[in-house]
Structure 1
Amino acid sequence: MGSIGKEPWITPKSVAVVLAFLMLPSFSSSKTESALLLASCPYSSIFSFGDSLADTGNLYLSSNPPPNNHCFFPPYGQTFFHRVTGRCSDGRLIIDFITEYLGIGLVRPYLGMKNMGGWSVKEGGVNFAVAGATALDSSFFEERGIPVHTNYTLSVQLNWFKEFLSTLCHSPQSCHKEVKNSLFLVGEIGGNDFNHAFYIRKSLVEIKTFVPDVINAISSTINELIGLGARTLVVPGNLPIGCSAIYLTVYETKYEDEHDEFGCLKWLNEFAEYYNHELQIELDKLRLLHPHANIIYLDYYNAAMTLYRHPTKFGFTGLEVCCGMGGRYNYNTLRVCGNQNVSACDDPWKHIGWDGVHLTEAAYTFIAQGFLEGPYSLPQFSTSCVVFHE
């Protein structure tokens, strides 16, 4: 498999993370075996939809980027790219590791490709994800008094994809042929629909009522993508938000029984588990509706919780983030990463959290590895492509 940059995926700093992963009892397939299976049914390109967990530069390249978005300033990008790229991390994201694994180059942000022209699916695909994006339209939140800072919703991203297809092929038949061997990443999306509400302390009861609407928006998009020719779709769940420094700070409590044994807020993680459960129920329905499609659930929650449960085993320090200033978790809502005079730690590879919301490249390395070769996908990704031999 090819490299996505000048530096290899497995660097000396990442060895401890990967070796610890390989020691997990649930790890069952070698990279060689997985690579052989994927080579027998290669994906020609990747199309990605989502929010800041997948955005590789769309918000950064948009016509009206938020001037104070913290992801646009150093030390973001310092670990791998050594410059700001629009990614909300110190380095690569999960999508970057997936593309490397599949031997596809960095998936370019749609807005960058649109501005330059000359689109081609042969370049490895297109990323439509935008930081801050929601599954639901902004009007949904405005009606409920919840501020949102961008309206690059899932429906907007889907329309971008349709626009891209219109330049790529000239009939439904030719479009189906072009996209059927592509891998579609539908998410992570939906997290911000809840984050905006949690951040202003809306009640849990009210926020839970959003869940069916969010899942319906994701389900509708999956249906449309399959109708347009998509055959293999990966749909991530939500992260364990109760372990995020932003929520541990916003909902700081003196009652230790509100935290689990790992220091995470139990009620927030229970909400994430509830949402993920409902999402998987919907994916089961979609599998019955589309038996010829391969819909894979990416288990962000348990992949990340493995790190939070056993941080020292993987070389991590715990819940304290790398880039921040002050507070129990090195996080202050008024002095966030990217702000002037807010610096990053000396070694991001010792931290799961990067800035209080997003994770480090080190953490994403593990999650990507666990998805591509391990137990954190349903069905297992490393064997799923053989279903489509024709």
Structure 2
Amino acid sequence: MTGSRVKAVMFIFLNIMRLLSMSHGALHLLQSTLFENCKFDKIFQLGDSYSDTGNLLIENPLDISGRLPYGITYNKSTGRHSDGLLMIDYIASAANLPLLNPYENRSANFTNGINFAVMGATTIPVQTLAMKNIFGASTNNSLDVQVRWMSRSLSNYYNSQADCRDKLKNSLFFMGGIGANDFLFAFSGGKTIQEVKNFLVPEIVQTIMNATREIIKLGARKIVIPGNIPLGCLPAYLTDFPANSSFDQNHCLKEYNEFSVYYNLQLRIGIVKLQLENPSVTIVYGNLYLAFERLFSRAGFDPNSLLKACCGSGGKYNFGLGTFCGSPGVAACTNPNEYISWDGLHLTQQAYMYMAHYLIATLPSLLRCSPT
């Protein structure tokens, strides 16, 4: 190895060691600084309950996200299905932007972007899922509806397609995550993992790619398409589907996690193909699976509660679908920051924060942001 190569390797090694030795606060500050280099002036979010900042609550004022204990760590309920903030909130803050207002709040300020995500939203339209004997959606605002909302919103702000593209050149678009509800409803209806792989995964991937093509036409130039988390680690899955799977090293359902890996691979293949179609657009995969897996090694989470819901109704995983968090008599834990899962399906603010930090650290280089 030449002297210059040795110096280069040592430089990389020393920088890695420096990062590892930094405090959590200092490391987060560095990550935020890197993300600020992207110079995003707007963020647009599509997706489901992992990103919804209040759309479903506006649709349905009686939704559980509108009352405590939802939002308890944030000191008020906001329509977020968590005890506090979501990943998109931390990402917006890291970009030095205000938190995104939900699209359904028509009187809100949308200067710095719009959140179109809706809790319970599916990728495939509800009517199409019904034709496949898949039911359970709490909203009809599937991904295609959210894309139409976006198109309508942008046409109200910009005079022409050229004007729209120019105004969106510094915008970041999150195409989900979405798809988890399609899968949950299919599994809950008795579909096997193999059946879902065969007849649902290809359609979901194609639907996401087609929706991404539509937002590219609208002017999107920086797009993140997140994958799915390890579904087999959710208390809801651990409670409802243990007979269909064995357990992995984290005591999650092995076959359902392998399914998540399979789906994420198909999604990444779709992204590669879409990127080749659109060389002037940056389309990247958001690795929520890895971001979630890293939670198991994070200090601060109670090792005895890694797979339990903070807010729930008992049982091994503190989850019961008949008596969901927010129902009368269902209590929340006193220390949500020690839990990964908030209510069995959604995560705690602490978990979302750590996952957001992972994305904030990894996305700038993928999105080709430069420190200018």
TM-score bucket of the superposed structures, by smaller chain: 0.7 to 0.9
The alignment's C-alpha RMSD in Å is 2.4
- Which structure carries more relative contact order (alpha carbon 8 Å, separation 6+)? 1
Tell me how far 1:332 sits from its aligned partner.
Answer: 1.4
Q: Is the 8 A contact 1:34 1:383 kept in 2?
A: no
**CA 1:39 to 1:327, structure 2 compared with 1: closer, same or farther past 3 Å?**
closer
Structure 1 portions without partners, runs of 5+: 1-21, 374-379
Tell me how far 1:141 sits from its aligned partner.
Answer: 1.4
- The whole-number CA distance in structure 2 between the counterparts of 1:142 and 1:83 is 36
State the TM-score, normalized to the length of structure 2: 0.88
**CA 1:40 to 1:259, structure 2 compared with 1: closer, same or farther past 3 Å?**
closer
**CA 1:101 to 1:232, structure 2 compared with 1: closer, same or farther past 3 Å?**
same
- The whole-number CA distance in structure 2 between the counterparts of 1:366 and 1:30 is 12
Are residue 170 (structure 1) and residue 159 (structure 2) matched?
Answer: yes
1:158-200: CA deviation from partner (whole Å, max 9, x where unpaired): 0001110111011111111111210001101111111111122
Q: Secondary structure at the match of 1:198?
A: helix
Are residue 140 (structure 1) and residue 128 (structure 2) matched?
Answer: yes
Q: Is the 8 A contact 2:45 2:114 kept in 1?
A: yes
Larger deviation: 93-102 or 30-39? Answer: 30-39
Tell me how far 1:242 sits from its aligned partner.
Answer: 0.3
Look up the match of 2:9. Answer: none
Q: Give 1:226's match in structure 2, choosing from 216, 228, 243.
A: 216
- The whole-number CA distance in structure 1 between the counterparts of 2:299 and 2:35 is 33
- The whole-number CA distance in structure 2 between the counterparts of 1:24 and 1:315 is 23
- The whole-number CA distance in structure 2 between the counterparts of 1:246 and 1:36 is 37
- Within 5 Å, give how 1:250-289 maps onto structure 2: 250-253=240-243, 258-289=246-277
Aligned sequence identity (%): 38
Are residue 58 (structure 1) and residue 48 (structure 2) matched?
Answer: no
Tell me how far 1:385 sits from its aligned partner.
Answer: 4.7
Q: Is the 8 A contact 1:311 1:318 kept in 2?
A: no
Are residue 77 (structure 1) and residue 71 (structure 2) matched?
Answer: yes
- The whole-number CA distance in structure 2 between the counterparts of 1:226 and 1:24 is 41
**CA 1:328 to 1:36, structure 2 compared with 1: closer, same or farther past 3 Å?**
closer
Tell me how far 1:205 sits from its aligned partner.
Answer: 2.4
**CA 1:179 to 1:194, structure 2 compared with 1: closer, same or farther past 3 Å?**
same
Tell me how far 1:127 sits from its aligned partner.
Answer: 0.3
Post-superposition, which runs of at least 4 consecutive aligned residues in structure 1 deviate over 2 A? 22-25, 29-41, 69-73, 310-317, 382-390
**CA 1:282 to 1:328, structure 2 compared with 1: closer, same or farther past 3 Å?**
same
AA aligned opposite 1:189: I
1:59-78: CA deviation from partner (whole Å, max 9, x where unpaired): 1112xx274x4333320001
Tell me how far 1:382 sits from its aligned partner.
Answer: 2.4
AA aligned opposite 1:340: P
Look up the match of 1:4. Answer: none
Q: Secondary structure at the match of 2:183?
A: helix
Aligned length: 349
State the TM-score, normalized to the length of structure 1: 0.84
Structure 2 portions without partners, runs of 5+: 1-18
**CA 1:235 to 1:24, structure 2 compared with 1: closer, same or farther past 3 Å?**
farther
AA aligned opposite 1:383: S
1:80-131: CA deviation from partner (whole Å, max 9, x where unpaired): 1x1211111000000000001011001000000x2x27x64x3x21000000
Q: Give 1:211's match in structure 2, choosing from 178, 191, 201.
A: 201
**CA 1:337 to 1:53, structure 2 compared with 1: closer, same or farther past 3 Å?**
same
